[in-house]
Every structure is written in structure tokens, then in C-alpha cells.
Chain A
Amino acid sequence: MSEPSRGPLRHFTCVGSYERCQAACMEPDRYRTLLALPANKPVIAMGAGLSLAGAGFSSDALTVDMRHFNRILDLDQEGMTLHVEAGATLASLFSFLADRGLMIAVQPGHPGITIGGCIAGNIHGKNQYRIGTFADLVEEIQLFHPAHGILDLNRQRHADVFELTVGGCGLTGIILSARIRLHPEAGKSCHVRHTPVAGMQDAVQQMKGQQQHEDFMYSWHDVTPFGGSAGKGFLVSGRFEPGTHERNGWRNHRPLHHASPWPLPVFNGLSLPLINGIYRRLKQGYAGTEDLFTSLFPFAIMPSYFHAYGPRGFIEHQVLIPDAHIVDYLERFLALAHDFRQSFGMVSLKRFRGERKLLRYSGDGFSVGLHLPATPKAIRFLAQLDEIDTQFMGIANIIKDARLPASVVAAQFPEYVQFRERLATFDPGRIFTSMLSRRLAL
């Protein structure tokens, strides 16, 4: 009688605002409501709704908002595992685990992301090279599919569905809960250093030499006329330290609006070169100690960064280029950026290590991350960059790039067809669908 029904249409937008639509939504707070979903109607689960692509909504599907399924079910301190419902956010778990000297080792840039989102997107943190991706932390998943009921998945039981679910963008069903492997808390604070680099290729060489010794490392580059043709910038490296557990970042973090509330773009083609130049000069050479939360979630206390792109929003493009091609790739990338006079909000490098599998963003190489204002010129630039990515054996991050076409994903991922076929075998009706899955023809 008091069950939530399909509510009125709600407006959804990804972070970055590029993919958006109106869709029906329900926000169940009881298992019986969730488990009563029909087996013949399109549906998709949504965690915090902080995906950079339209992974949690589609105009023809019912979005199931999982925010109320956020409870901690079990903590095995000796075995260092946490069993938690999928709607729990990383921020809500951070303090609980820190009090017990534990942490989730792989953390994305924003703490509002849910455990279900981390699994479905197979997110990575700031030291994928040493820690791996979220897939490496997932021991068990409880998955609900209206046609299959509740399935307990792990690497032995329903192993095929487990593989499809981790990094599967929510297309196998609704993740109810998961058992996550924990690590001892690496420190109470983090000493962060910004080391100037002459360009992106210089950053690659330095990361190859230093990555093993740092708790996290990535680079930031000024790819504008002020940053020179090589993309001057700095390496950001951090080492966790013991000491007092300051929680200023945890206390001060603010939720992220999906769509920018700012009426005009502060970040645009004219302002970005200047802002990048000033930022580089201010930040290079910086060294200081930050609390652990702030160092893990740099975007948590500055949501205004995302809002500054204005109502038109931005696009994130991430591509993983094998070690053997990264130097040549960067040369082509910088030349293309120069030809287009393309402005970036952010250009960053991270080193990766691991196995390529299905549609996951993992493997050996360097991850090149870009934020661009979502202008028609940027779309043309990215279309050409897609070709260069493919030519250099790169794979794009499908969960982050809201305009990535199916043809590019099919060309870049050798197991694209296999993913589709295995998904269709598990779910012939293919009821789990999103804007992302439709765009990528999954």
C-alpha cells in the first residue's frame, strides 16, 4: 500500500552534463520493493549518480536509485574484509574504517561514489600501478536480476557473471551488496610533493623511475601556449605518514551537483590557458602535508571545479596507451592539440599495470586523462584523437567518456563482441539498459 511506485519523470544528467534525459525513477527503501521488479521491463540501477557518462539512466528504462541500501553488513577485522550494501558511499565508509585502522585501498577522485558504482565502473585510484583497480578488491557480489533472482557471485561461483559484473556498467543486474578486501590504513596523513617536469614525455620517464617508491603518483600538464609545445607541468607524488588523524577534508567535503548551477562557463577557450598558466606557476614546487581524506579525494572539497564549466558541461576522455607506444602517442596528441588550439581544464598522466579484460579500463601502460569544455570543437578534436588512440593500441575508459561511439570501442577492445555475447547469454531479454549501453550498442 505504501510501496514506492514508478515515480514521476526525473531529469537525469551525468557529471559533465553531456548525456542527459528524463526517465522514470524509483527510490526503494525495502528489499521487497526492489525484489518485486518485473522481469520484462527495462531497468538500470544508479548509485550516487556521479558517473561521467549516462550509466544510470535511459529514457526508456526505470532508474532504481540505490541510496537507501547503504548499510554495513559485516566487518571481518582479522580477515580484513567488509561486507556492505551497494549504496554505501566511500565517504561514509572512510571514517568507519579509519577508526579501526583500515581503508579501501582503491579510491576514485570523489568520495560520494558508491560501492556499487565502484564495482560497475571498475574504478581506479591514484596508484593503479601498485594497488590495481577496484576489481582486485572485490571478493563477492550479491546480484539481483528479476529473471534470475538473487545470485551470489565470486571467482568460483557464477564466475562468468562475476567477471561481467565487475566493470560491466550495471548491465548484468542490480548489485545488492559486496564483500570488499581491505588494507591496513596506510597512514594518518599524506606528504604531497609537486615536482616540475619539462613536458609530458619527461613525466613519463620520471614516473617509470619513481612510481615504485610512491604511495600515489600522477602528473598534471599545462597543454596551452603558456605551457610550451611539450606540456610543462608537475608530478604529484604522495607518501602516507603516521601522525595525527586530521579529518578536515572529511568534515568539509561537499556533495557534487550533477549539473552545474553556474549560469555561465568560467572555464572556456579564452580563460583556460590563463587559468592553467597561473595554476602551474602557483602549484609547481609545492610540498606539504595533507590529511588522508583530502589527499585521496582532491575533488571532494572543490566541487566548483566541475561547476566552472557552466551549463554546457565538460567531457572527460581517458585512454590507456601501452608503454611501448606512449612516447610516440604523446607526440601525436600534443601536435593535434596544437593544431586545434584545443583548451583543456585538465591533462594528466597515470601509470597502469595489469591485464586487459572485457571492457575494463585496465592493462599495462600510461593513462592519459583529459577534461575539455563540451564544445563542438572539442567533439571534433576527440573524434580525431579516437583514431590516434586506436592507432596506438589504446583503450578508452567507457565509463568516463560520455560521447565515445560504439565503433571506437569495438575497434579498441578485442573482447567487445565477447562481452556482448556473454551478456546476451546471461540475460537474453537484456532488460538492464542505460544511455551508455545504448550508445555503445551493448
Chain B
Amino acid sequence: MKALVIGASAGLGRALAQQLGASGHELFLVASDQQDLLPLERDLSLRHGVTVHSAAVDLADLDPDALRHQVLEKMPDLSALFYVAGCAYNQDNGPVPAGVADRLLKVNFTSGARIINAFLDHLDAQPRGLVVGIGAVAAVRARGDNMIYAAAKRGLEFYCAALRHRYNRRPLTVQFYRVGYMLTSMLGGSETPLPAAAPEKIAAHIVAHLEEDFGMRHLPGWWFWVCLVLKLLPWTIFKRLSLEAPGR
């Protein structure tokens, strides 16, 4: 497999790049800072002997066609795209500065949709194309915390679900994961009301199930039941709940 990982330099994206590299897949890594990409590129190629390319791209200032050109020039037979990028804002519980709102929407949703869109015809033409989107359990039911973040992640989830419907008779597989709390810098070391998972474990699950056409999954799996309860809770109870980690 030849894979493009968007948001590869830290957290789940980096763990995913490491596990894909360890499995021998050729990689194209995209993140905002070359200073973080180059060490990862060197590490993966030295440890696993795989070919790794990288490009620094600001997802809030994106030219999807330029990225497509850049990636396909290095990796003409790209077959998988992982959109892992995400960002949160710890005061996303009311009015936020316009620039912040714009960035939250772009990084968590619109840039993802635009990048997937730019590669869609190429991936559809592959014998076994794959699109993997990473969402968040925060998007399961609208709440007063992480409002723009959750709305944007919900947008990405909706777009991936639409893609799966559109391409269900084609060889292109679309997977989407709703991921729970993870021990990454987005959590900022905060205590969480429910256990946080190591990104390496989440990445290992994703890499182990690349062949499957399941639609949407929760990671870790027990979040399915938590999300189900959250969805079914009557409004009078739900409005009193706070499941967010402080500081997120």
C-alpha cells in the first residue's frame, strides 16, 4: 500500500505513520511543520527501510490541487489517504475569535473534505483504494463544549458517510473512526472523566483493519456504548452532563 497521512507529525497521525511504516508501506507525510516531519521521515526510513516523502502544508491555507500534484508526482500509485489532522481550542464554549473559528473549521472539516475530494478520482481508479477519516466522540451529540470543533468533526463524519454511500459498488473503501480521549498534546495532560487511550493502540487497531468495509467504528470499542447512551439520554438529563476533559 502507498499511503498519504495528513496530520502525521504528532499524536495519532504520527503513531499511524509509525505503524504503517513498520508494516512496510510507502508513505507520504503531511503536517504543518517541516521541523517535525524531517525527523519522522528519517526515523521511519532508517528503522523500517521504507520510502518516506513529506511536505509541510498549513491546512488553514490549503491548495488541494497543489498538494495532489506534489503527492502524485512522488507517489503516482497512491492507494490510501488517512485524514488524521485535528485541532481544538480550550475556550470553544461560546464566541471564539474569528480566526480561531476559521482554523477549527478548516483543519477539522473543510480541508479534510477538500483534500479527499482532490484525490477521490485517483483513489477510485485504484484496484483497492482506501479513505480513512478520523473523527471524535465529541461529535456524537451537540453540546455546549467544543462547539465548533465537534460541529466540524461531525461535518467530516457526514462527508465520509456520504462517500461510502456513493462508492459502495466501487472498489474504494471508506472507513471512519470516532475516537475517544487520547493521550496526546490536544489533551494537554488534563484528567479525563473516562480513560484515555494511547495513540499507538488506536493506530494499531486502524492498521490491523485496513481491509475491512465496516463504515464507522468507535475506538476504543467501548465508546460505542457510551455514545449510544449519550444519544438516547433524554434532554432533561443530557443538558446537565459534562464529559469533556478540563482544558479541552
Contact of B185 among A27, A71, A73, A75 (CB under 8 A): A27
Q: How many residues of B contact A (CB 8 A)?
A: 30
Q: How large is the interface on A (under 10, 10 to 19, 20 to 34, 35 or more residues)?
A: 20 to 34
Type the 1/0 row for B89-111, where 1 means its CB is closer than 8 Å to any CB of A. 11000000000100110000000
Which of the residues A2, A28, A75 comes within 8 Å of B88, measured between beta carbons?
Answer: A2
Contacts known (A1-B104, A72-B47, A96-B47); A27 close to B42, Cβ less than 8 A: no
With A1-B100, A29-B11, A30-B10 already in contact, the answer to whether A85 and B39 are too (CB < 8 A) is: yes
The chain B residue with its CB closest to the CB of A99 is: B47
Residue of A nearest to B100 (CB): A1
- The answer for the CA separation of A3 and B247 in the assembled complex, in Å, is 12
List of B residues within 8 angstroms of A251 by Cβ: none
Contact A26 B189 (CB under 8 A): yes
Chain B residues numbered 1-49 whose CB sits less than 8 Å from any CB in chain A? 9-11, 14, 33, 35-36, 39-40, 42-43, 46-47
- Distance in angstroms between the alpha carbons of A4 and B14 in the assembled complex: 16
Q: How far is A96 from B42 in the complex, measured between Cα atoms in Å?
A: 14
* A4–B185 CB distance below 8 A: yes
Which B residues touch A420, using CB under 8 A?
none
Assuming the contacts A32-B35, A72-B42, A73-B39, asked whether A1 and B190 have C-beta atoms less than 8 A apart, the reply is no
Determine if A28 and B185 form an interchain contact, defined as CB atoms under 8 angstroms apart: yes
Q: Judging by beta carbons under 8 Å apart, are B185 and A32 in contact?
A: no
Is residue B188 contacting chain A, with contact meaning CB distance below 8 A? yes
**B65 within 8 Å of A (CB atoms):** no
B171 to chain A, nearest CB (A): 35
**Are B47 and A25 in contact (CB-based, < 8 A)?**
no
Contact of B189 with A30 in the complex, beta carbons under 8 Å: no
What is the minimal beta-carbon distance from A45 to any residue of chain B, in angstroms? 16
- A30 with B47, Cβ < 8 A, contacts A1-B100, A8-B191, A73-B42 known: no
Q: For the complex, what is the distance from the CA of A91 to the CA of B35, rounded to whole Å?
A: 25
Max chain B C-beta neighbours (<10 A), residue from A1, A4, A29, A68:
A1
Please list the residues of chain B having a beta carbon within 8 angstroms of any beta carbon in chain A.
9-11, 14, 33, 35-36, 39-40, 42-43, 46-47, 86-90, 100, 103-104, 184-186, 188-191, 246-247
Q: List 28 A-B contacts (CB under 8 A).
A: A1-B87, A1-B88, A1-B103, A2-B86, A2-B87, A2-B89, A2-B186, A3-B185, A4-B185, A4-B189, A5-B90, A5-B247, A7-B247, A8-B190, A8-B191, A10-B189, A26-B189, A27-B189, A29-B184, A30-B9, A30-B10, A30-B33, A30-B36, A31-B35, A32-B36, A73-B42, A74-B46, A75-B46
List residues of A whose CB falls within 8 A of some B CB: 1-5, 7-8, 10, 25-33, 68, 71-75, 85, 96
Q: Which 8 pairs of residues, A with B, have the shortest CB-CB distance? A: A7-B189, A71-B43, A2-B87, A4-B185, A29-B10, A31-B35, A71-B39, A72-B43
